[in-house]
Structure 1
């Protein structure tokens, strides 16, 4: 794994936060300085590939997913015995940290007893820390919050904490960071998952996060190549296409990926997006022009290429998961994220080899690459986690303190007419969708007389009337907003009704900050970047929000995107919006 000296210097400083040393700890995982020589890993990969059956070689190229509740069931063991699936994705499996360690250990034990005994890559989406999968782990700001801090060392620290906690529970592949440049405010699927709209910012923070996490022995996966930031269609639901020219592709959308490649990222995840400037016919996932020509050839990437989920409708509705799996391998992918269709995908690849449609040498090429990276990350020697270590490392107080500190530096105050911090002697009504109840409870914990009235994301007129009535006895209103694309008219009507009460109103965007384009009449407005498109929150960020509202912390963030004509890129700490009076 390659690490540039400049980033290494940043990382060495990133474990000191606000004068407090943060012990970022992991199990006995390899670091960039303790890996096996490349030649020995390549030889291990070659000899292991030679003694594997065709079906088990195909299994290395297919990512499966456990089903059922509790520890992995016999179905997982059967899949390992028949196909030797070498990579797995887990989602919310095992519960608390120690149980997740037991969960991954059982899978590694079964893998060791199957076929050639190849250890597993076990991955998950952990874009805002391991908390996204393990409830007692540390939640961290989403990438847009990290971008708002303007501190590369905060992104590095987030990567180190995520890597340490993931390694402690046996998760050795994180499908993160998202290095899409979010140039389309109406993008329905990226939003706060991106570091921002400026390619240099995204590139710098994405590379720092990548290097720091991989130093903890956890494989990073920069995504979604070659860019999902300017789409107006969610690839989970349809097939997006982008029409910008080649120069825009290279100057804007490819820059963060090239920076990640240069920094040593060991895997990239593809986008189910048609990039017309490169291949107007096929999405990147299935395109030899994109994966082999552009990524391998022009950009020089030698790591693992993994597809996005092949059950997403962009692929499944147009090609079918089996045929698409064959096409992706032909295009240059190494791992097919098949999930629940792993056996169907493996069988399609098997038949393609038997029929001559797909050469076994092409299968062997990816198997050797996968096994080399597994060796490089020490999995052949140390595949297991420790339940005791997981309990000690995951969600430890130092990590939580660090996460809240990053949260303070991410919260962005775009304007304030003098109503913040909230006066201790005034009553506060928190009104709006999603986390109104939680925000009010956090204010109460800090000594504020606060109540909550939570609404739906699309409140009807009766619900709007009820919400306004709930503010009758309040001195100040905190109005929360949450959208993941364009604000619904009903939520806009709720915000307008609250602004019309004549009471001081603080608007808090919980998701994308573009909501604040409608907050010109508010007395104060804050962006938190706390919830992703699925309204999954980062708890330390909500804690940080409460601290800022009551004056226990200063908001340190600056907008990493432009919010309409009201708030330019960079508005925030030390950079008030044009015409701001606060």
Structure 2
């Protein structure tokens, strides 16, 4: 038994160098997780996947995060909508097909494991990292749509990892940066956070990803990723789950700061996990450190060979079920999926308050943040000029000004130069409203402006403006919001309870 098969590692770049290939082959890891830095042209990425399998063997699992919306690693195929955009549709058939759309773009490259979807119930509007990655704030809706999405992916040939068990939706701390705590009783967790995950277990979804979160009602010392009570006691014994349990990335500070040097790896395996996600972000040494920690734990009895054998057996079964043979994404399939993505985007746009229609020949003012920040799982964002260019295709007389976190001088000057023009304030940020956004919202409220909530849907009710909510900023959502401005059609339903704010 090779304990390295329990490790899913990352790589520095878009090609596998000879040194990296030898490193993978020497250790025999179980698979690789690809990030945006690894995914370039289809031909180059498919070659990378082949090289990984040449080094690790045909049963290597190749993973990525193709959630939809803002969390996408492959961008040259139709973009699945954000989960919350699907929540606005309330259509399980659409959710299932969205999972299949994501899978088709991955299996085209030989990627056979998608760390998606999020089954977190977004009940905390101040949650810094989940937000639109959740299907909504209703656990029944999240369960219905999330399981449909996962099963759609798996029917198309890509194993789904529902996350972040046992629930990341009621946190105010990003586990990339620190250890969150959810102080809820078992009864409260059962009624909310656990409902989608129970549904996924009952449906036989292929894998579950753990959360780096402390739940004192279950374990007062160890976060869920490292807790035998959570992974073995609850998930395995009480719920009877037999699929793969994979950790969230062990380099996240919620784990790495408290269990340095790879010490979390044997702890999570002993607790009941089968696969340990280890990210070095350009360095290979962390992978070896985690493997050494596992080997030491096997030697001194902190991790048993029986537990290791169980983990390896589950991973081997998953590789047989989802072999990762490339399935070409034909031009006809892409065209059909792109048309479907655009239709979902139009159907999901949601109106909050009274939103006026704008004529195409109107002189429209657009105010945007100059450089939206990214972080956590998010790899990119929407620049103001890109949004302005997209909207000018529909409103040729559109005028645009950026603003900073506090600097609104250019935005104020534009508003003063065109006092009668309709004004749009676009929020393209995720990590909290800035003083400038709040100031400009007040100015626009006095003159009858409109808010375009293009990322965080919570902002639609946090600012004193009527709003159009898109649940994302990919091209389909930008076209959809422009069409909604022209037509007044915004048929989506905000999948957030009124008490969430």
Q: Indicate whether the TM-score tops 0.5.
A: yes
Matched with 2:386 is 438
User: Contact conserved, 2:119 with 2:142, CA < 8 A, in 1?
Assistant: yes
Preserved CA contact (<8 Å) 1:479 1:507:
yes
Asked if 1:211 is matched to 2:151, the reply is yes
RMSD: 2.0
> C-alpha separation between the residues in 2 aligned to 1:393 and 1:280?
53
| Structure 1 residue 545 corresponds to structure 2 residue 481 | yes
- Distance apart, 1:487 and its partner CA: 2.2
Q: Match for 1:508 among 445, 452, 457?
A: 452
Q: 1:554 — aligned with what?
A: 489
Sort the Cα spacing of 1:487 and 1:358 in 2 relative to 1 into closer, same or farther, 3 A: same
- State the match for 1:570 in structure 2: none
Q: Counterpart of 2:398?
A: 450
Name which of 349, 357, 372 aligns with 2:294. Answer: 349
Q: Which of 279, 282, 293 is matched with 2:222 structurally?
A: 282
> Residue 371 of structure 1: SS of its match in structure 2?
helix
Map of 2:5 onto structure 1? 60
Aligned positions of 1:297-312 closer than 5 A: 297-312=237-252
Measured in 1, the distance between the counterparts of 2:10 and 2:127 equals 28
- Per-residue CA shift, 1:423-445, capped at 9, x if unaligned? 12311011122543233222221
Indicate yes or no: 2:77 matched with 1:137. Answer: yes
Aligned pairs (5 A) from 1:324-363: 324-340=264-280, 341-363=286-308
Which of residues 333, 336, 340 in structure 2 aligns to 1:398? 336
**Contact kept in structure 2, 1:108 and 1:120, CA below 8 Å:** yes
1:122 to 18, 42, 62: 62
* 1:147–1:130 Cα change, 3 Å: closer
CA contact (8 A) 1:195 1:205 kept: yes
CA contact (8 A) 1:311 1:321 kept: no
In 2, distance between residues paired with 1:538 and 1:413? 19
| CA distance, structure 2, for counterparts of residue 369 and residue 278 of structure 1 | 25
Q: Where does structure 1 lack aligned partners over 5 or more consecutive residues? A: 1-53, 113-117, 531-536, 567-582
Aligned to 1:74: 18
Instruction: Tell me by how many angstroms 1:352 deviates.
Output: 1.5
Distance apart, 1:517 and its partner CA: 2.4
Q: Give the deviation of 1:133 after TM superposition.
A: 1.5
* Separation (CA, whole Å) in 2 of partners of 1:466 and 1:129: 30
- Which residue is 2:346 aligned to? 408
* Kept after mapping to 2: 8 A contact 1:140/1:541: no
CA contact (8 A) 2:348 2:491 kept: yes
Return the offset for 1:496: 1.4
Change (3 A) 1:410 1:133: same
> How far, CA to CA, are the matches of 1:393 and 1:285 in structure 2?
42
Query: Are residues 1:526 and 2:464 paired?
Result: no
Q: Comparing 467-476 with 79-88, which one deviates more in the overlay? A: 467-476
User: Does residue 47 of structure 2 align to residue 102 of structure 1?
Assistant: yes
Question: Could you state the TM-score of these two structures normalised by the residue count of structure 2?
Answer: 0.91
Give distance in 2, aligned partners of 1:489 and 1:516.
Answer: 16
Q: Paired residue for 1:175? A: 115
Q: Secondary structure of 2:385's partner? A: helix
Conserved 8 A contact 2:163-2:208:
yes
8 Å Cα contact 1:517-1:564 kept in structure 2: no
With normalisation by structure 1, the TM-score equals 0.79
Q: How many residues align?
A: 481
Change (3 A) 1:129 1:104: farther
Partner residue in 2 for 1:316: 256
- Report the equivalent of 2:179: 239
Q: What CA distance in whole angstroms lies between the structure 2 residues aligned with 1:130 and 1:490? A: 23
* Structure 2, gaps ≥5 residues long: 281-285, 373-381
